[in-house]
Structure 1
């Protein structure tokens, strides 16, 4: 790079009516930071709607705002110049040789090491150049068979059956963690969670297996006893609370027992022990201080479970018991089962219970957890490679695409000078025997329709459809040919995008602007002809309507008396016609007299002058519009920030719109069997008018 006191010599070219910087050498890129932003053609462009790799645009858009700005372009160019030994590689065909990477600093060494491994995984040698395609397959770069730096270990990374099974158990119970290769494995956090839960379950089982009379009052039958106890506890508690309320206030006993109307519901149907109405009744009749009967007097819906409670819980814990259960006895039973129930309540919430206590104990006592921890640590140590793979990817994409974007951002050389299309050109629209190359995608029709007319271009908006694709909107600038036959509704064309796909295009809107000086020259005459044609059609339609009305009224009305021939009226009509013909003849005579007073060579000049006098206003307006025809508003309407007036002059506009022409060497037959027969009426009429003018001139001379 040149020293700070040596000013870089820029080269500019003029195109589109403004000066544009030429980016031709590595030195131009190295000094791009020094170029005044006022000399940049574009200040920012959107990351969508461009014929440009979206991945490259995402790398350039570092703040993720959907726009690529001047500082982001400068940063990308500066980074490429630092990471390459010679920035001239950006001007060459896609591909980065390993030897081209600048490894003079730590970042460069890490980048080159990662690039070397990418070459290895791609099956290439160090003499081969890295391409974008070599880095697209992330599953190959981050294969499960080798460490990839994400700290996630999959079963394929180990040969140990025990570690493989451990990873499978972790994934099956906890879900696992996504690996860069696309699979699922375990990382340090998930392994720690697994071992913590496993240890908690093992400890819980150990606490429950202690041979203690408090924890196992009924020995091996304790679990079954607690289960039946839990199933009736709420109902037994309810009964004793009701009896306590009756003892507290004897008046409540009647209200705490079921009303007779409850039994009326059950009276006229078959009753089963599972009926909800029966199950909801108290266990027995409520009385102050009464014990719960375990035989007669018990709610039949609960008789079976109470019998189980007596056989599995009450009798084993209290010894021999009569056919009733007091509140004190119930309290004693609850106390004897409290330890077991507290242990059950402390059961850890975990999906690892499905593995079983034997498997969990074996995992905690084995060496597989230690081995997996070491593998996870080794994989995490490869994070440097994983991080630098992104840097390698960035370098490959920028080496391939950055110069193209610069030639559509710093300058518009791809639009004005290159044989390839600019990134904002969507494709080619074929319409009305012409091809339009200046075609842009339109995302916001309302915004575009507001700004685009300031471009001074004749614009055609189209909706394009293709089977299997969402409809798209485009706008095309017509910069050559005639536009008299264009119409909004019903006019169709064909749009070919940059991938060569064809879309049916339907015109939805036209922004009319002058297209050429030649068209402007003839436009007054075309307007007069159109006006005359319209008036004749209106007159013919009016006369046809009058005749139809008169015919209808004549048929419907009664026969009227025949009127005589009005000679005075007839004479008046002919007098008016004569006056009109006289005035016309006088005017023609004056014109012919003026022409005949000139010399023969002056007559064509006078006629030409009259035509120019008529056409000059239209031509002048067209010239002024064509002179200010500008690409900027078209791009600004799509979210660009154009920093100059990018003009589209007449010669360049003609290059953007191709007109239909016969191929070179083609022959054409002029014989048309269906051609209209030529009739000399027009020539005869013209000669008649000229003869009348001569006669009038001779007569009034």
Structure 2
């Protein structure tokens, strides 16, 4: 399709966006300089959409969609289709007649689609759907031989080959098949053959050098196990004997030491076992011999008896009463060839297969049968390539127009009835609905960018049970006031799928939300300051009152205790208590009188020159109010939605200033159902009448004083 040189732009918010409603508009995307695109790059994990579609768009698989990748997708789609009605309808059904068979991929898609339709036996022979293609894709992926050549036992034509595949997996490990099971690929088969040959050579060495490797014949394996269990302990014994031969005083340093025995809990079996395990095999002696029939550590007595009977006596050819260090070295040398042979055993659990079965596998046809099955995987891979190509065209036809309308331009963001692909749902909290929510990957980085947006933003944590862990969202508050929005406040989050989850505020970035809130913010601060001062004065007066009261009560108590000794003193104390109480009352009266005097003074001054006083008061209010209004208007006009997206990793070209209609759309207080009764009762009208009366009275008095002042002048 040839792009038109005439582009149609729409005015959304305070910026111009390309209109993309048809295939012709999509072709015009190629003409639009990327500097005029709303977004030029975006992370996939912040976009709602078909995961396979997003992976196809992300051709370099870096987790981001960029301008060049979206352009390539548009070009490929327009070249592969001749009929764009399905593209404009965002249809998941592909008409075969809409495929351009003259394009490079169109012919493959057409022929493969025909084969799949015949395989399905569908009545609609000229159309294939996304659900059908994914069904076939799943069936092909579940085939016993995957496209990567991973072969399952079910792929074998005979039981012997099937068992061979199982044995390969058990001995050298398998590769993952798309169905989740373990199978055999070319790598596993080659490793099995090499390791099996090495194992057979290893076994053959044992037969060839049996005289040296097996000093006790078939009993050598059992004898070596007994030898290995006690070798370190007997070596330790002779080392300890060497130390004693050097210095007999070292006997006290041989464990367990006296301190070890004293600290041991002899009532605990584990403590006793540990103490015996670190103790010598027998009591060391300077003669460097081991009395085989003498006292042996009870912890090792049974294993040493077996070693003496089946190893020492057999290898040394004599009935030993004492084992010398030289004889022990002889035993180790006799068993050393067998030990080296054991250490050279190849990897893999081949012993359980047996030499005969293993040799049969190497000499038989099982290996060639599996290689033949692996070679067939190329056919599976070819089928899947064609299936994925059809799936790609179906996904582009159904999803590409929507992605372009949320990348090149953002009309869905400005339409209250639709959702942009980066919007995650609606937060219900504080009696309001917050209709814009964007996914946050790293909150700290997001907050740094959002702080420059002049917007009031909530960060919430959503406990979605379908996810492994909670995720975080940024929610802008665009109308009304702060209300009860504080860190820790809870609400519910309704996602796009209409599922509801718990949500909690975890961070707030504060900025003016509305003009009213910004106007009265200075007066709220003044009110808080005055309230704080009053609270300080009140608390100080309360402390003085408490101190005076306590002093009076203590004087009274002292007078009572001294009453028996001095009646005169008792009367004096009572008089002082009464005087103190009187002082308190007098102090309270003085305070009230001071307040009354102040009010009277203010009233007198106003009556003397009402015009000047009221004018000055009004001027002071305007001096505070006008700058507040000006700053509020400037801040509210600077509110920028693009910062919310940029914090999540989007690259935004245009400044997305928040319009008035958007403000009330993104944050709103829902109305009650029509016809709801009891919302405005008698109390509501009484309060409103009182407020109106006060306003009328103030205006009337102001007018009267101004008129009197003008008349007098």
Please report the TM-score for the alignment, with normalisation by the length of structure 2: 0.68
Q: State the Cα deviation string for residues 476-505 of structure 1 (Å, max 9, x = none).
A: 33333x427455357554432223214344
Which protein has the bigger helix share? 2
Alignment partner, residue 511 of structure 2: 512
Does 130-139 or 436-445 show the bigger shift?
Answer: 130-139
The whole-number CA distance in structure 2 between the counterparts of 1:381 and 1:666 is 68
Native 8 Å contact 2:477 2:513 kept in 1: no
**Corresponding position: 1:581 with 2:604:** yes
Q: Which runs of structure 2 are paired with 1:134-149 in the superposition (5 Å)?
A: 134-135=133-134, 140-145=139-144, 147-149=145-147
- Seen in structure 2, the aligned counterparts of structure 1 residues 232 and 44 have a Cα distance that, compared at 3 Å, is closer
Match of 2:519 among 500, 518, 523: 523
Deviation at 1:410, TM superposition (A): 0.4
- 1:104-146 Cα distance to aligned partner (Å, 9 max, x none): 466445555665666678775654423157527965332245x
Q: How does 1:252-401 map to 2 (within 5 A)?
A: 277=281, 350-401=348-399
TM-aligned CA deviation for residue 22 of structure 1: 1.5
Name the CA shift for 1:375/1:106 in 2 (closer, same or farther; >3 Å). Answer: farther
Q: Is the 8 A contact 1:226 1:337 kept in 2?
A: no
> For 1:545-565, what per-residue CA distance to the aligned partner results, in whole angstroms no more than 9, with x for missing partners?
6488469378674978x99xx
Distance in structure 2 (CA, Å) of the matches to 1:345 and 1:692: 112
Alignment-derived partner of residue 166 in structure 1: 164
- Cα distance in 1, alignment partners of residues 369 and 251 from structure 2: 70
- Report the counterpart of residue 430 of structure 1 in structure 2: 428
Distance 1:647 1:142, change over 3 A: same
Q: Distance in 1 between matches of 2:461 and 2:191?
A: 55
Q: Partner of 2:663 in structure 1? A: 653
The 1-side partners of 2:474 and 2:339 are apart by: 77
RMSD: 6.0
Please give the alpha-carbon distance, in whole angstroms, between the structure 2 residues aligned to 1:490 and 1:109.
59
CA distance in 1, matches of 2:338, 2:712: 138
- Specify which of 635, 638, 641 is matched with residue 625 of structure 1: 635
5+ unaligned residues in a row in structure 1: which ranges? Answer: 236-253, 266-274, 287-299, 316-331, 564-569, 593-607
Kindly tell me: are residues 109 and 432 of structure 1, through their superposed partners in 2, closer, same or farther at Cα, counting changes over 3 Å?
same
Distance, in Å, in 1 between the alignment partners of 2:214 and 2:519 is 111
Q: What is the distance in 1 between the residues matched to 2:28 and 2:354?
A: 69
Deviations 1:657-695 (A, max 9, x none): 333434445555754379868779958965994798499
Aligned residue for 2:174?
176
In the alignment, structure 1 residue 51 sits paired with structure 2 residue 61: no
Give the 3-state SS of the residue equivalent to 1:35 in structure 2.
Answer: coil
Query: Does the aligned pair in 1 maintain the 2:464–2:501 contact within 8 Å?
Result: no
Q: Which segment is superposed worse, 111-120 or 496-505?
A: 111-120
Secondary structure at the counterpart of residue 476 of structure 1 = strand
Q: Distance in 1 between matches of 2:383 and 2:519?
A: 69
> Residue 597 of structure 1 aligns with which residue?
none
Distance 1:576 1:263 in 2: 100
SS in 1 for 2:609: helix
Once residues 709 and 337 of structure 2 are traced to their aligned partners in structure 1, the CA distance between those partners, rounded to angstroms, is: 136
Q: In 2 relative to 1, CA 285–40 (structure 1 residues): closer, same or farther, beyond 3 Å?
A: closer
- 1:642 is displaced (CA, Å) by 1.1
Greater CA drift, 221-230 or 470-479: 221-230
Equivalent residues of 2:133, 2:391 under 8 A apart:
no
Larger Rg: 1
Match in the other structure for 2:88: 91
2:552 corresponds in structure 1 to none
Q: TM-score, normalised by structure 1?
A: 0.69
The 1:132–1:584 alpha-carbon spacing in structure 2 relative to 1, beyond 3 Å, is farther
For residue 556 of structure 2, what is the aligned residue in structure 1? Answer: none
User: Deviation at 1:30?
Assistant: 4.0
2:36 pairs with one of 6, 17, 39: 39
Partner of 1:640: 650
Q: Is the 8 A contact 1:155 1:164 kept in 2?
A: yes
Deviation, structure 1 residue 156? 1.1
Q: Aligned equivalents of 1:72 and 1:506: distance in 2?
A: 37
For the 8 Å contact 1:140–1:181, the answer to whether it is kept is no
Q: Structure 2: any 5+ residue segments left out of the alignment? A: 231-241, 255-278, 291-300, 318-329, 550-576, 587-592
